[in-house]
Amino acid sequence: MAKIFCVANQKGGVGKTTTTVNLAAGLAKIGQRVLMIDLDPQGNATMGSGIDKRTLELTIYDVLLENASISEARVKSDKLIDAGCSFDILGANRDLAGAEVELVDVERREKRIKQAIDAVANEYDFVLIDCPPSLSMLTLNGLCSANGVIVPMQCEYFALEGLTDLVNTIKQVHANLNPDLQIIGLLRVMYDPRITLQQQVSEQLKNHFGDKVFNTVIPRNVRLAEAPSYGLPGVAFDPSARGSQAFVEFATEMVERIKTM
């Protein structure tokens, strides 16, 4: 049965999508069966996995509106198959921006993704959900579906401040909607050890959150930033890059973590 994880942080541009697609590719590379769900109308995770969001016939939007099941809407990427780290993709595009409004009056709307995932959960080891940069209904939908949250963060001063809001939201969802939900861990990303402030914030994080901070640290690495323009996660685009190796290491750490869940 698949373990379901949201990659969430309401701050924009902190590395959510990079984490989702590279963790998905890293897990696939070490033999895990993965479904990646793009829950962001920007469709970055879709494009970054080699799928043109403009040509998709069915997306997460259709699943949310119960016009399609996940088995009907998921796709595979030829580029990922060629690179030897293929995972299934439930894509998103701008249509999804409308879902927020269209679902306002719908019953059990926060359970729809979960129900759709349940129907395919035995086909996967991991389901990874890339959330948009907000604590909107879409993110809430994601959180209601998940066993855990992975929070990518840069080791900067304001990162800690934003974390309080996210932690409170997760607590509320846990208390009211999804008792399964927990923070799996904080992932330090775009890390540059030469910057003293980053070292300090990293230490603060470890002191405050203890073993909720993943051991793996993702370095700032230009190959990870270049990869999306080729429609590939860094792990597939340049497996030898330091950033890609870190994500494979993170995938291994995740496989270990779920054994204790």
Applying CB under 6 A, which residues contact ligand ATP?
12-18, 40, 42, 44, 133, 189-190, 218, 220-221, 224-225, 228, 243
2 Cβ partners below 8 Å, 6+ apart?
33, 35, 117, 120, 121, 122, 123, 124, 125, 126, 127
CB of 90 to ligand ATP, least distance (A): 17
Applying CB under 5 A, which residues contact Mg ion?
16-17, 44
Q: Which of the choices Mg ion, ligand ATP, none does residue 231 contact, using the CB cut-off of 5 to 8 A by kind?
A: none
Q: Which of the choices Mg ion, ligand ATP, none does residue 14 contact, using the CB cut-off of 5 to 8 A by kind?
A: ligand ATP
Choice between 23 and 224, CB closer to ligand ATP: 224
Which residues sit opposite 191 in a β-bridge? 219
Choice between 26 and 243, CB closer to ligand ATP: 243
Choice between 68 and 132, CB closer to ligand ATP: 132
For residue 15, give the DSSP letter: S
Choice between 115 and 229, CB closer to ligand ATP: 229
CB of 105 to ligand ATP, least distance (A): 27
Q: Is 168 exposed, middle or buried (0-12, 13-18, 19+ CB in 10 A)?
A: exposed
- The 3-state secondary structure of 62-105 reads HHHCCCCCHHHHCECCHHHHHHCCCCEEECCCCCHHHHHHHCCC
Q: Which of the choices ligand ATP, Mg ion, none does residue 189 contact, using the CB cut-off of 5 to 8 A by kind?
A: ligand ATP
Token pair, residue 254, equals 């995740």
